[in-house]
Amino acid sequence: MKPGNKAQGNQGEQLAAIYLKKQGYKILETNYRCALGEIDIIARHKDALTFIEVKTRTGLAFGHPKTAVTRQKQRKISMVALEYLKRNRKSGQKARFDVVSVHADGDSPRIEIIQNAFELAYP
């Protein structure tokens, strides 16, 4: 990832976290990492533990941000989520996968939450 893209991604994740809090999400972890990969945000929303992937774009040349979570990315997020649940003894917890799309092409970014964006995608 280019340095500019990393900064853009970090800014998008910060905007997403602020927006999620306003929508009633309680942020538990940001940039959770383990040997299997990373999850951008882990939060509690209502009765569910929510694993959130944030996708940020400044233009649509590479498609809308919400379409950037490929099947391969879903599998990786799923594996990290399972590891998180196991490590934190929350295996029986209700969980879901959300995607936050940040379209930052002007002064006022557009943010969209896609709840239950995908199901557990494990091999």
For 69-115, write each residue's pLDDT tens digit: 889 999 999 999 999 999 999 988 899 999 999 987 777 888 999 99
The reported pTM is 0.88
Fold assignment, 3-118: Trna Endonuclease; Chain: A, domain 1 (3.40.1350)
What is the SS3 assignment for 20? helix
How high does pLDDT run on average in the chain? 87
Nearest to 81 by CA among 120, 123, 31: 120
What is the SS3 assignment for 93? coil
Domain ranges of the chain: 3-118
